Structure 1
């Protein structure tokens, strides 16, 4: 008849192992644990190195390749936007430069127009002042003429007349001094050649004392103001005398002319 041990041989082995483990000492258990750890480390080490080598030799993934492309695209877009902004700023700068040139040209034209206007108004003002001055002085000149006639024609006969003569001659002197202060000067055409720019011939007198065309006498005094004629001098002009005219006629009737 078979025993239970014969029917279950594995059970006997486990029992023996348990008995052996129970009977083993603690030091042997520690050594066995160290051996197991070393075996485990030895078995795991090649696997980790293989994994590392596989990772190093592995091809880059799609995520790794797409990231640089994305960065390049972003940089390109930034560069394009900056270039567009630069072009826009250049166009704006050119527009501003054109506006500055136009404004400068307009300013120069306005400045030139203002200078011309100022010179023109200044010239017109001077001309107007000169015209007004001439008009006022021309109204005074007849009084000066009367004083000069009185001085040349009236001869004081006594002390009373001399006193009157000196009094109006004093007024005449004041008038003449005032005219000099405003730039008026009297003409002295006597013994000068007749000049239609300054003289007006009122009479012609035949004479042998003066050359033909010479001013013999000033009938009405002429005046100048600021190198301009204020009033023409009315003068008497010399013309050839009778003897000279007869000699001229006799010279024209020469013997040659009579023989003809």
Structure 2
């Protein structure tokens, strides 16, 4: 027994009611312990705890310093553990003054903890907001880039359509000349060969500009690509199939520059009465033997 201690049978026992912080929980039974010592000896609590209270101001900077040097979670946790141990000793010793001071220190630590949690939450929200803005800006940039590319392609295509459309007349003239001219002399054959060479070069240039020919014979009639000049009976093609090409059609990157003039089959005609209104509508019939 310590000096000044008396028998607990001759003294009125004291109890201490405490408010707890959310940092820890102490069983209710531990708050109502029988005093082991004389109440007069309460001022003489353990020297280690006295030293802790005297040095609390010098220890607080160490706690803040540990937060700033990137080692948060080491020193503060050790101090908190020691502080909780001291708090338990003060409760056991029934020392109200010590309990009050330790509670104030624990409350300060709790406030610092709440402040740090709020800062972390704020920084996390800022980071998330920054990432979201970055994603939106990236999406806006991609949309703008695609729209600019489409606009540029549309302008280029429109300009090419105007130029190529005017050149298609030359192609038609070459086609008609090839169908009508039948060279019989050596001189005529040489001239025809020269014209065919020029025509082939012209075709290669058109291909380099992404100009293609509309498919006709054997394909289903499509008003987007074909223009029917007549509908005739055919033993070879079913109804609605292009049976003959009158004039070539052309595409530029899939867009119609000029529809093809075609004849469309009405079928075999074995079960139908011929209709004279479906004959040619004023356009001369040209042989389908033209070179494509």
Q: Same fold (TM over 0.5)?
A: yes
Does residue 1:151 correspond to 2:175, yes or no?
no
Within 5 Å, which residues of 2 pair with 1:1-260?
72=98, 75-190=102-217, 192-204=219-231, 213-238=240-265
TM-score scaled by structure 2?
0.51
Following superposition, the deviation at residue 143 of structure 1 comes to: 0.9
**Count of matched residue pairs:** 192
**Gap change, CA 1:64 and 1:231, over 3 Å in 2:** same
**Gap change, CA 1:74 and 1:153, over 3 Å in 2:** same
**Gap change, CA 1:157 and 1:60, over 3 Å in 2:** closer
SS at match of 1:196: coil
CA distances 1:132-157 after superposition (whole Å, capped 9, x unpaired):
33333222211111111111112234
**Gap change, CA 1:82 and 1:218, over 3 Å in 2:** same
Separation (CA, whole Å) in 1 of partners of 2:226 and 2:274: 30
Q: What are the ranges of 5 or more consecutive residues in structure 2 without an aligned counterpart?
A: 6-37, 55-97, 276-292
Q: What are the ranges of 5 or more consecutive residues in structure 1 without an aligned counterpart?
A: 1-55, 249-260
**Gap change, CA 1:190 and 1:92, over 3 Å in 2:** closer
**Gap change, CA 1:84 and 1:239, over 3 Å in 2:** closer
TM-score scaled by structure 1?
0.56
CA-atom RMSD, angstroms? 4.0
Deviates more, 1:93-102 or 1:151-160: 151-160
Structure with the bigger percentage of helix? 1
Following superposition, the deviation at residue 236 of structure 1 comes to: 3.1
Counterpart contact for 2:4–2:41, Cα < 8 Å: no
CA distances 1:37-95 after superposition (whole Å, capped 9, x unpaired):
xxxxxxxxxxxxxxxxxxx7699989955995x75365544433332222222222222
